[in-house]
Chains A and B, each alone.
Chain A
Amino acid sequence: MAEELLRLENIYKNFGNVKVLKDVNLNIKKGEVVALIGDNGAGKSTLIKVITGVHRPNSGKVFFKKEEVNIKSVSQSRKMGIEAVYQERALCDQQELYRNIFAGREITNSLGFLKIKQQRKEAEKILRDYIGFTSKAITVDSTVMGLSGGEKQGVAFGRSLYFNSDLIVLDEPTMGLSIQETEKVLNFVRGLKNENKSAIFIDHNIIHVYGAADRFVILDRGEVVGEFMKDEITREELVNKMIELHESGKIEVEA
């Protein structure tokens, strides 16, 4: 039995009167890839934003590496070893890649001035070694604007690997990507397991999810309504569960 990495207990999150998360429990082991699935508005994005410190839950407990933590900010969750690759693609279009990769955790001297040379050198390493960019058209001085969706996603992944995180959070990593680029992304997710890193992964496409995840957690209107290990359920059964949920609003859990 692998060691526990993250555990959420009884998480509630409201935005005004809207209850987005209701009593959510979730845990993730080391080296495990968990897929969060559910319809739009099920609370998937909110849930991962609670984990990465963008949102703070109204109540509930978060344990990371078996210790209770109170994640107040993105920089805090990063320091703990949680790294996010967001659906909105957290990159700024008009800024250079070497600035984007280090945004929010710049390499600086004691006065806060950037060590540009070092940032560019490290960024170069990330582009070459972690992402495998070979195109000469993309350098550390390129702005994000000219990159394709897959290239952007690659930069975001490279960033998360470089900072050596334990848990990588992927929000719709394949959205808007070509088939080849999607395949690269899914390979990346599978590759995480070899390094004993864990991932939470949201995707609308059950085929993608099924191929890359060890476990599936189904969210519906802010609640966890089902949880399956990959060896308990075939892809067709999983798709049927989702259709069933969509039609009847509930799910039969036999196990």
Chain B
Amino acid sequence: MNNLFNSYFVKTHKLEISITIIAVVLFLIYFLGAPHVFTRFPIYRAFMQSMPFFGIIAISATFVVTLGEIDLSFPSIVGITSLTFGMVLTSTDGNFYLAFILATSLGMFAGLINGLLVTKIGIPSIVATIGTLFFWRGLVNVISQGSGIAIVDVADGTWQHAMFVQKLFGKIPAQFIWFIALTALMQWIYRYHKFGNHIHFVGDNKASAQMMGINVDRVKIIAFVQLGFFSALAGIFTMYEMLYFWPTQGAGLMLTTLAAVFVGGTSVFGGKGTIFGTFIGVLIIGSLESGIVALGLSGFYVQFINGLMITAAVTIYALIQRKKT
């Protein structure tokens, strides 16, 4: 037993292990507190249906946070790219490829702007992305004039609809499978690709990374661009689920998404993080609302307990980190 606790795996995966324990305890509480809900399948189907929409962005945002940067503009990037997707899809009578390419390109362009503001102009990312947060949402409002777009006629029953959100075997939402596959791919890139490696070095110490021959600006820009892409992708998933675009689309994503990254154990200071942790963070943050209501507490507790979870988690991580140094 003692061996187990001192093993190399445990030492190097403290964060992942802590977050998994927190998640297991949380689901045990749900399970014991509301067995009539949590012993049946529908609640899990609902989780699998809703979590990927912000989960995809959280996985992608983990790269930006590991850089020691932050992106607050992704909710509005979801908005503007979803609007683009809806407009192109309806005006071309369902040309998916064009709509997909334009929406994701716009997402990457928005990410590029964030990246350039941060690296070439030198604006701290928290400030730069507050600017673009308002900018893109404002543009959504100006273009949409506050009205939504129904894509039912051009999206429902298409193969893209099936591919993105159909239930496999009538039970498992396709978006959840995508989410898992994406998590695995991003974890691989994060730990074992040159790009992921450079993300860690730049986040750890920008000056050292530069001296080791890493192109710091390029790494940062690519990180923002991929977040723009995945914001667009998450928006498209949501559109196929809802078959509707509404002008506030994405606006509610900010806190849940970033909370999932931080609860997952990725350091705000940069240089250290975990994609697996973010995945578990998504399971925690994405289950809180339903879980709390199922336990019989009123909805008013949701934010309170959410806040408690985040604060407790980041405190634990800070303590783990401090012991190391």
Interface residues of A (CB under 8 A from B): 52, 54, 73-75, 78, 84, 86, 88-95, 99-100, 103-106, 108, 111-114, 116, 141, 145
Looking at B207, B212, B215, B325, the one whose CB has the most chain A CB atoms below 10 A away is B212
Known: A112-B195, A114-B197. A90 touches B212 (CB 8 A): yes
Q: Give the shortest distance, in Å, between A50 (CB) and chain B (any CB).
A: 14
A92–B12 CB distance below 8 A: no
Give B contacts to A, CB under 8 Å.
8, 12, 188, 192-195, 197-198, 200-201, 204-205, 207-215, 271-272, 324-325
Using a Cβ cutoff of 8 Å, how many contacts connect chains A and B?
79
Contact A104 B8, beta carbon cutoff 8 Å: no
Chain A's closest residue to B188 (CB) is: A113
Contact residues in B for A116 (Cβ distance below 8 Å) = 192
A103 to B324 Cα, complex, angstroms: 23
Q: Is the interface of B mostly helix, strand, loop or mixed?
A: helix
Which chain B residues lie closer than 8 Å to A145 at the CB level?
324-325
Chain A residues, Cβ within 8 Å of B212: 74, 90, 92, 100, 103-104
Closest residue of chain A to B211 (Cβ to Cβ) is A90
* A–B complex contacts, Cβ < 8 Å, 5 sampled: A74-B211, A94-B200, A95-B201, A95-B271, A114-B194
Among A73, A94, A105, A112, contact of B204 (Cβ-Cβ < 8 Å): A94
Say yes or no: A114 contacts B271, CB within 8 Å: no
A242 to B: closest C-beta gap in Å: 28
Residue in B192, B209, B213 whose beta carbon sits within 8 Å of that of A73 in the complex: B213
Assembly CA distance A113 to B185 (angstroms): 12
Contacts of B213 in A (CB 8 A): 73-75, 78, 103-105
Partner of B194, one of A75, A84, A95, A108: A108
When C-beta atoms are compared, the residue in chain B nearest to A114 turns out to be B192
Alpha-carbon distance between A94 and B266 when the two chains are bound, in angstroms? 13
CA distance A35 to B30 in the complex (A): 68
Min CB gap B317→A, angstroms: 13
Please measure, in the bound complex, the distance between the C-alpha atom of A214 and the C-alpha atom of B189, giving whole angstroms. Answer: 47
A residues less than 8 Å from B208 (CB atoms): 88-92
Q: Which residues of A contact B204 (CB under 8 A)?
A: 92-95
The reply to whether B197 and A106 contact each other, CB–CB distance below 8 Å, is: yes
Given contacts A75-B213, A90-B208, A100-B212, 7 further A-B contacts (CB under 8 A): A90-B212, A92-B201, A92-B204, A92-B212, A92-B271, A103-B198, A113-B192
